[in-house]
Amino acid sequence: MIKITLKDGSVKEYEKGISVEQVVASIGSGLLKAAMAARVNGKTVDLFHQLNEDCSLEILTFDDAEGKWAMRHTGSHILAQAVKRLYPNVKLAIGPAIDNGFYYDFDSDKPFTEEDLSAIEKEMEKIVKEDLKLERFELPRKDALELMEKLGESYKVELINDLGEDEIISFYKQGEFVDLCAGPHAPSTGRLKAIKLLNVAGAYWRGSEKNKMLQRIYGTAFAKKSQLDEYLLMLEEAKKRDHRKLGKELDLFSLHEEGPGFPFFHPKGMILRNILEDFWRKEHRKNKYQEIKTPIILDEELWHRSGHWEKYKENMYTTEIDEGDYALKPMNCPGGMLMYAREMHSYRDLPLRMGELGLVHRHELAGALHGLMRVRCFTQDDAHIFMMPSQIKDEIIGVAKMIDSFYSLFGFEYHMELSTRPEKFIGTIESWDMATDALRDALDTLGKPYKINEGDGAFYGPKIDFHLRDSIGRTWQCGTIQLDMQMPERFDLTYVGADGEKHRPAMIHRVIFGSIERFIAILTEHFAGAFPIWLAPVQVKVMPISERQNDYAVQVAKKLEELDIRVELDNRNEKIGYKIREAQMQKVPYMLVVGDKEVESGAVAVRDRKEGDRGSMGLEEFISNIQKEIREKINK
């Protein structure tokens, strides 16, 4: 007999060799129907996984991230099976689950059309109705190669050839379909109650521009049709809020062929950007940060010393200066190290907080570029905090509270995730364990829930990521706190302790916005371009009804301008209805209509972009109200 500890802490005994599915069946038929996969001793496995020793067991449904992942991974196999049934000569590449869905890459001589996607989706629905059981089997590398060669799957052969000689290769089978896969999967195709193909796009094999362009079909799957319907509605709303569309309509930014991935900010976009940066500076001064600026181009040797060259060189731009090799910085960290190392520090100087709005460059593949969300140059609101080990917990808590204050201001909810040591890392396991424990201790003290992402830390240290939730329910990873015990070692950073001896400081890397460009994109979509008044590039538009009121309208606009209220005057010879509609399209918070009555009384007729006509109001009263809204940073 073996003992199995369930999530609620209860312990049950079963015969050795029992499957997870049999254990679930013994607990209840409702749970069995909902189960997608399981976690055994922290590892995600299929339901048909056999249990041969004492273990902990957690059943994963669609409500769990890993349960969603397993089900949607099965969705990608159903997609591939449907394509092979309809187009037998198509070659299979890879097909993983992704956030909110899945995709599969295909090598097809004929481009997939909308009609093809419709036919594929219908075939997928047939496969779901067939309720095919998924079965896992393993083969030695030689036999695995023979199987894939027999099936004519050259891309799978290449993947297997990249594995070690002694590797045992796993496959999954459903009906007549077999695919190379590590799993795990849902127990059968029938578990996917609602499935939808979304679009097709180009994708280079293995992400390299040197390889062949394949066709990537994207899809999604849910446990219930109502969930799918809700998701599709969200996608429609997201299309309306697309920051690329709104950025053009609101004249915020543009992207040009002459600089792919390098955004141009327009005057109105610069107003928004400068407001965010000015706010950032003010809050950092309040929190005792010193602002610095480090060069964009630095010697290649520095990037070897920091460890970035080994881990990140494929994403770095390089150049030659005076016969020496240099690189454009993809991160601000090494410059921050040099700033600390420029002078000797005492324990009395610590913690030392240095913030930088640093422009960085990273080479992203052309196919990955996406408006301001994924660009090749962007400004990170970095800070590097140097401290004694005894100060780590308080500094992490301080940063977390600062991030909370930023996100709350914009109306974002968020959750936190702790990411631990990855497979490839620098430093010792002991230093990693100490750093991870420090982050966990700080999170526990904060008392807010958090999730643990095993193996997802940066190569130099564990981290806390902040995932904010926007107004239509999407999540974005922006802020991060990374505890680094390696960089101070690599740069031989020291401070003189109370004992008069040299000691090694600990260091925190952190960002709040993450990237100014990306945060602007997120804000644009979150507010659907209708920025709160303190952020709006144009806060007020003054509109005379006819030429008779032009002089008064100019006076009103000038008065607002003198008070640093961002105002535009629209005194064109157009009908007032046209002017109002245009201002509404530009999402200006307030429109002040000026007619003869307003001129006589020194008033303005106020229109709110959301509430519409608010009637006539004295100019001084309007100014007092709007200044209060701006000062209090009201989000409406």
Q: Which CATH code of 3.90.79.10, 3.10.50.40, 3.30.930.10, 3.20.20.190 fits the domain covering 260-289+347-526?
A: 3.30.930.10
Exactly one of 380, 539, 549, 586 is catalytic; name it. Answer: 380
Tell me, letter by letter, the H, E, C secondary structure of 53-77.
CCEEEEEEECCCHHHHHHHHHHHHH
pLDDT at 310: 80
Provide the pLDDT confidence category of residue 430 given band limits of 50, 70 and 90.
confident
Mean pLDDT value across residues 507-532: 95
**Residue-wise pLDDT tens digits, 374-424:** 999 999 999 999 999 899 999 999 999 999 999 999 999 999 999 998 887
- Per-residue pLDDT at 82: 97
Q: Is 382 a catalytic residue?
A: yes
Assess whether pLDDT exceeds 80 at residue 426. no
| Residue in 463, 510, 566, 607 annotated catalytic | 463
CA 492, chain centre distance (Å) = 33
**Res 328 pLDDT > 90:** yes
Structural tokens at position 268:
């109105």
Distance separating alpha carbons of residues 249 and 586, to the nearest angstrom: 7
Whether residue 461 is predicted with pLDDT greater than 90 in this model: the reply is no
Determine what percent of the chain is predicted with pLDDT higher than 70: 100
Task: Give yes or no for residue 149 having a pLDDT over 90.
Answer: yes
The structural domains of the chain, with segments of one domain joined by +, span 2-61, 66-240, 260-289+347-526, 540-632
SS3 for 379-414 is: EEEEEEEEECHHHHHHHHHHHHHHHHHHHHHCCCEE
Res. 99: pLDDT tops 90: no
Q: What is the DSSP letter of 474?
A: -
Q: How far is the C-alpha of 96 from the C-alpha of 77, rounded, in Å?
A: 9
Is 478 catalytic? The answer is no
Catalytic: which of 46, 105, 382, 404? Answer: 382
| Cβ atoms of 425 and 459 closer than 8 Å | yes
pTM for this model (two decimals): 0.82
pLDDT at 466 over 80: yes
Question: Of the candidates 538, 71, 511, which has an alpha carbon nearest to the alpha carbon of residue 269?
Answer: 538
Task: Count the Cβ atoms, other than its own, within 10 Å of residue 517.
Answer: 23
Catalytic residue (one of 216, 374, 509, 518): 509
Residues 6 or more apart whose Cβ sits within 8 Å of residue 58: 6, 7, 38, 39
Concatenating the DSSP letter of every residue in 493-518 gives --EE-TTSSEEPPEEEEEESSS-HHH
Looking at the structure, give the CATH architecture of the domain made up of residues 66-240.
Answer: 2-Layer Sandwich (3.30)
What fold characterizes domain 540-632? Rossmann fold (3.40.50)
pLDDT band at 74 (very low <50, low <70, confident <90, very high): very high
Which residues lie closer than 8 Å to 259 by C-beta, 6 or more apart? none
CATH number at 2-61: 3.10.20.30
224 part of the active site: no
To the query of whether residue 50 is one of the catalytic residues in this protein, the response is no
Distance (Å, whole) CA 141 – CA 143:
6
Cis peptide preceding 422, ω within 30 of 0: no
Question: Is the distance from CB of 136 to CB of 70 less than 8 angstroms?
Answer: no
Q: Quick count: other Cβ atoms within 10 Å of Cβ 131?
A: 12
Any residues with CB less than 8 A from the CB of 34 and at least 6 apart, and which? 61, 62, 223
Which of 362, 376, 474, 526 does the annotation list as catalytic? 362
The residue type of 487 is M
- Does 105 participate in catalysis according to the annotation? no
Residue 164 has pLDDT above 80, yes or no: no
Could you say which of 284, 333, 484, 607 is catalytic?
333
Contact 47, 37 (CB under 8 A): yes
d(CA 36, CA 221): 13
Q: What is the pLDDT of residue 210?
A: 84
Bridge partner list, 327: 298, 318
